[in-house]
Structures are given as structure tokens and as C-alpha cells.
């Protein structure tokens, strides 16, 4: 254990900028997440939430700014770019486990094979050790009995839990989760949320983009509201949901929270 990874925030994003052609998507985003912190990012479609997570995982290369995860730091901008080796990029990327809305499991592999492929191929772990760890991780997400099942024989919620186990198998320092419950039938959302709550309780540092406001309220210590490529508002769930400081957040909350039955008007 080195001292540099034990002090300060686990994730530090500083003045991050990203454009796609003429479209400026991230406009100077800065965010710190403490060790074991859970941040929920909310905001309208197109506000840059996915791009922010993809930048932290280096699936997109930021135009400028800085990202630090644990003891590893990346600076972006013209002068630095040529100096970053593929190896540095891979090591940085491995520190962040990413889970997407669509599970992206390998269809021709069992649940266990999906979970062990990364450790065996990328981390060069022995098959025996990878399988032992893989079974533990499947048990952790409640799928001990589905190790030999193929994705087509699993429900959406089960597939997403395999995807979470697969990300954990790489031993990430932090987890990034992009709308991981959005593609699920409503009755399957709870089982995935339970797994995420357990991860949070275990002390995993997480940034999650979610539409599940009930979950965000309970599991996140900080809510970040993104709007037009910027962090518009940030604070504890109770403050953001009960007393939004900006008109943009107030109208976003009005639009997404279910209307209570007594004020629902009959349609037609
Ligand atoms: N690879 C890309 N190429 C071009 N435009 C993109 C790309 N990825 C995202 N965008 C644009 O960036 C904006 C933000 O997208 P995104 O980060 O996916 O927002 P969110 O996740 O908040 O809905 C959108 O206008 C989107 O069309
Ligand atoms: Mg998105």
C-alpha cells in the first residue's frame, strides 16, 4: 500500500472539457469523490452524463483537464497526449470498472466464463484462481447457482448482475455505472439496486448515472445535477431534492418524479 493512494479523494476530476466536432459536451467539469463515496449523477438526456463517465474510463479522450483515480493521474491537452503510453492508458482504465445500460455480455460464454475472461486474459490469472474468485463474485451478486448458465437463459436483472460481477473481477478501485437499471423491466430493477447498495455498504467508491431517484436518495451521499455539460448543482440528496437552488433542477425534478395520485387528472 502506498501513501499516495491512501490520502485525499479517490476520484478527482478537474476542469474537464470535451467536444465532439462543434458540439461542446463537457464544459469544465470538476468533481471530487471521497474514498467509499457514492455520487449519483442526474440530469436531462444529452447533458453529458455518459460522456463524463466515458472520459473517466478513457473510452473518450478529454480535450483538456485532469483526472485522478487513486494514485494514478492523467492530464489531457495537446502537449501531454503523445507522451501517454498504451500501457499507462490500460493501467488507468483498469482502475475503473464500468457497467453500461446494456449488459454487453459475451453470448457464447457462461456467466462464470464472462466473469473470468478478463482476469485470465488481461490480468493473467490462473484459471483455477479466476474461477474461485469468479464464483465468489457471482455469489456476491446473488447468482451462485447461475455460474454455468448462458446469458440467453438469464433474465435482464440477472445479466446485469453478471455484468457487475465481471467489472468487479478486474479489481477496480472505483465503479462507474451508467443507467444500469434503465433497460430492465420494472420488477427486475430492485435486485440490481440491492447489489449496488451492498457494494456501497462494502465501501466501494462509485459514480452512478441513474433515473432511479428513490435509489439515488438512499444510496448516494452526493447528488450531482448536470445540465448543458456543466455541474449545475451538487449537494446531499435531502437538499437537492427538497430545495433545488436552480430553476433547471426544479423543473427536472418536476418532470421525472411521479405525480401523486390525488393530483392526477383522468386522461380523455
Ligand atoms: N461519440 C459521439 N459523437 C458525437 N456526439 C456525441 C458522441 N457522444 C455523445 N455525443 C453528444 O454529446 C451530448 C451528450 O451526450 P451524453 O453524454 O450521452 O449525454 P447523457 O448521457 O447526459 O444523455 C449529446 O448531444 C450527444 O449527442
Ligand atoms: Mg447517457
CB 60 within 8 A of CB 29: no
Q: Which of 10, 63, 68 is nearest to 205 (CA)?
A: 10
Give me the residues paired with residue 176 across strands. Answer: 98, 207
pLDDT, one tens digit per residue, over 222-246 is 999 999 999 999 999 999 999 999 9
Q: Which residue has the higher pLDDT, 257 or 68?
A: 68
pTM of the full structure: 0.91
The grid coordinates of residue 252 equal 427536472
Instruction: Work out the pLDDT band at 82, boundaries 50, 70, 90.
Output: low
* 228 Cα to the center of ligand 2, angstroms: 13
Q: Check if 20 has its Cβ closer than 6 Å to any atom of ligand 1.
A: yes
Burial of 169 (0-12, 13-18, 19+ CB in 10 A): buried
Judged by phi (left if over 0) then psi (alpha if -120 to 50, else beta), residue 180 lies in alpha
**CA nearest to 231, candidates 40, 2, 3:** 40
Instruction: Give the torsion through C-alpha atoms of 202, 206, 208, 212, to 10 deg.
Output: 30
| Nearest ligand atom owner, CA of 54 | 1
Q: Which of 72, 79, 169 is nearest to 130 (CA)?
A: 169
Per-residue pLDDT tens digits for 97-145: 999 998 789 999 999 999 999 999 988 999 999 999 999 999 999 999 9
25 lines ligand 1 (CB under 6 A): yes
Beta strands in the chain (DSSP E): 11-20, 23-33, 38-42, 64-69, 72-76, 96-99, 174-178, 205-209, 222-227, 230-235
Q: Which ligand sits nearest to residue 29's alpha carbon?
A: 1
- Say how many Å lie between the CA of residue 112 and the centre of ligand 1: 33
Closest Cα to atom 9, ligand 1: which residue? 51
Amino acid at each position: 500500500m502506498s501513501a499516495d493512494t491512501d490520502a485525499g479523494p479517490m476520484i478527482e476530476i478537474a476542469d474537464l472539457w470535451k467536444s465532439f466536432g462543434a458540439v461542446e459536451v463537457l464544459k469544465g467539469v470538476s468533481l471530487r469523490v471521497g474514498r467509499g463515496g457514492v455520487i449519483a449523477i442526474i440530469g436531462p438526456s444529452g447533458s453529458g452524463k455518459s460522456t463524463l463517465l466515458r472520459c473517466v474510463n478513457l473510452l473518450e479522450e478529454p480535450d483538456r483537464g485532469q483526472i485522478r483515480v487513486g494514485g494514478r493521474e492523467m492530464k489531457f491537452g495537446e502537449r501531454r497526449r503523445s507522451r501517454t503510453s498504451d500501457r499507462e492508458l490500460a493501467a488507468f482504465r483498469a482502475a475503473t470498472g464500468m457497467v453500461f445500460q446494456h449488459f454487453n455480455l459475451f453470448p457464447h460464454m457462461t456467466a462464470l466464463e464472462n466473469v473470468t475472461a478478463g482476469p485470465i486474459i488481461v490480468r493473467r490469472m490462473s484459471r483455477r484462481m479466476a474461477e474461485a474468485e469468479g464464483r465468489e463474485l457471482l455469489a456476491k451478486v446473488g447468482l451462485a447457482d447461475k455460474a454455468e448458465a448462458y446469458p440467453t437463459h438469464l433474465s435482464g436483472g440477472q445479466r446485469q448482475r453478471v455484468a457487475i460481477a465481471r467489472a468487479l473481477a478486474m479489481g477496480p478501485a472505483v465503479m462507474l455505472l451508467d443507467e444500469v437499471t434503465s433497460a430492465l423491466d420494472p420488477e427486475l430493477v430492485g435486485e440490481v439496486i440491492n447489489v449496488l447498495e451492498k457494494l456501497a455498504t462494502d465501501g466501494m467508491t462509485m459514480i452512478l448515472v441513474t433515473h432511479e431517484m428513490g435509489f439515488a436518495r438512499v444510496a448516494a451521499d452526493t447528488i450531482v445535477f448536470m445540465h448543458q455539460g456543466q455541474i449545475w448543482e451538487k449537494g446531499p440528496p435531502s437538499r437537492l431534492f427538497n430545495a433545488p437552488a436552480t430553476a433547471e433542477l426544479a423543473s427536472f425534478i418536476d418532470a421525472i418524479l411521479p405525480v401523486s395520485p390525488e393530483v392526477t387528472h383522468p386522461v380523455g
